[in-house]
Amino acid sequence: MNEVADAMHGFAEWYGRRPIGAWSAPGRVNLIGEHTDYNDGFVFPFAIDQRTAVALGDRDDRVIRVASSFAAEPVQVHLDELTPDALEGWAAYPLGVAWALGEHGADLEHVRGVDLYITSSVPIGAGLSSSAAIESAVALALDEHWGLNLDRPTLAKVGQLAENRVVGAPTGIMDQSASLLGEADAGVFLDCRSLDADVIPLGFAAHGLSLLVVDTRVEHAHASGGYAARRASCEAGARALGVESLRDLRLDDLPRAQALLDDETFRRVRHVVTEDQRVLDTVRTLRERGPGAIGPFLDASHVSMRDDFEISVPELDLAVETAQANGAVGARMTGGGFGGSAIALIADELVPDLTRAIRSAFAERGYRDPSLFTVHPSQGARRDA
């Protein structure tokens, strides 16, 4: 799918004139580092080749209109009425970004409105950050159109603020950072405390490896339930242990944590502390020995999410186990959990057999037929036209 051509075409059809530009931003796969971002820890995601594109046209008044290929109803709002509470539904993502730019220094009282048209090839609800892709594409487009010159880490914070305050999901900074900072064939090693980012070559293709995504089609939502509960447990654990965030704990603090905390909170803490270490180990191993050697960390990450953080579901476990039994270098669920996708790093030539094995394992258990596809580490947000 050519998201950019589709966005420009959709804009012209919808608004009856040509857009003045088009921008796009990718979804992401998190290679490792789950639920560590809001604990000030480490993450290592990469941008994927599924993208969201936004075509933009200028206006003489102060109205923002937004239409898309995936939502029936277009939405419009006057810039004077742009508040978090005024926004709902899918338009909370793009319009929330416009509001959040104002919170990061944009003088929204003196900008003109715009027309936007959005298309996307990032599957929705698959745990591949379709929402961060919208936020990042719109943030980059409005930043440039309104002449704000905010840097990319700030645009990531803009997207996160829209997600937290407007959409109402208490998520961290990882997804927007991956979407804005990603580069072809590379991962984004991000310290979520300092926001220092290192773009590190992954070398999957050069080593004959593919990254297979298994979208279980079990729907998840971060605005409700488990995600917020996990975040609250982590914050309670940090408070009880007298640290600012779980980032401040090391592996040898775990015995003290176990003595002080109830069993459930301790296991939440242990996941985060060990996961931070696995991110560091993965990055070091990748640099020293290449992607074929990182599998044990991916596998251990999944076990930790399944048993300690308890965010996996039977479909994700089955995808991971089947991948491991069919020659994967490593496999784990990716993203916030409670559904969404698993990933398997596997030799190119084994992909067809693994795909068949996962489909038949799902059919045997009576699970919904999953969607399977390979993704390629790709360039982050950019202006396309």
Task: Specify the stretch interacting with ligand GAF by CB under 6 A; choose among 70-78, 172-180, 265-273, 291-299.
Answer: 172-180
**Using rule CB under 6 A, residue 278 touches ligand GAF:** no
Residue 175 designated active-site: yes
List, in sequence order, the alpha helices (H) in the chain.
3-15, 92-103, 130-145, 152-161, 174-181, 226-241, 254-260, 263-289, 295-307, 314-325, 351-365
Question: Residues 3, 34, 115, 143: which binds ligand GAF (CB under 6 A)?
Answer: 34
**Identified catalytic residue from 6, 115, 143, 175:** 175
Residue with Cβ nearer ligand GAF (6 or 135) = 135
Q: Which amino acid is at 162?
A: A
Site for ligand GAF, residues 320 to 379, rule: CB under 6 A: 335-336
DSSP secondary structure, 338-381, as one string: SSSEEEEEEEGGGHHHHHHHHHHHHHHHTPPPPEEEEE-----S
Smallest gap from residue 173 Cβ to ligand GAF (A):
7
**Using rule CB under 6 A, residue 309 touches ligand GAF:** no
**Using rule CB under 6 A, residue 29 touches ligand GAF:** no
Residue with Cβ nearer ligand GAF (38 or 189) = 38
Cβ–Cβ under 8 Å, residues 308 and 362: no
Residue with Cβ nearer ligand GAF (182 or 335) = 335
Give 173's DSSP letter. Answer: S
**Using rule CB under 6 A, residue 96 touches ligand GAF:** no
Q: The dihedral of CA 317, 339, 200, 169: what is its sign?
A: negative
Contact letters for ligand GAF, residues 210-229 (x by CB under 6 A): ------------x-------
Give the three-class secondary structure for 114: strand
Closest C-alpha to 142, from 96, 181, 191, 74: 96
**Using rule CB under 6 A, residue 301 touches ligand GAF:** no
Cβ–Cβ under 8 Å, residues 338 and 227: yes
Smallest gap from residue 225 Cβ to ligand GAF (A):
13
Question: Residues 174, 213, 273, 344: which binds ligand GAF (CB under 6 A)?
Answer: 174
Q: What tokens appear for 133 in the block?
A: 């892709």
Footprint of ligand GAF on this chain (CB under 6 A)?
30, 34-35, 37-38, 171-172, 174-175, 222, 335-336
Known catalytic residues?
175
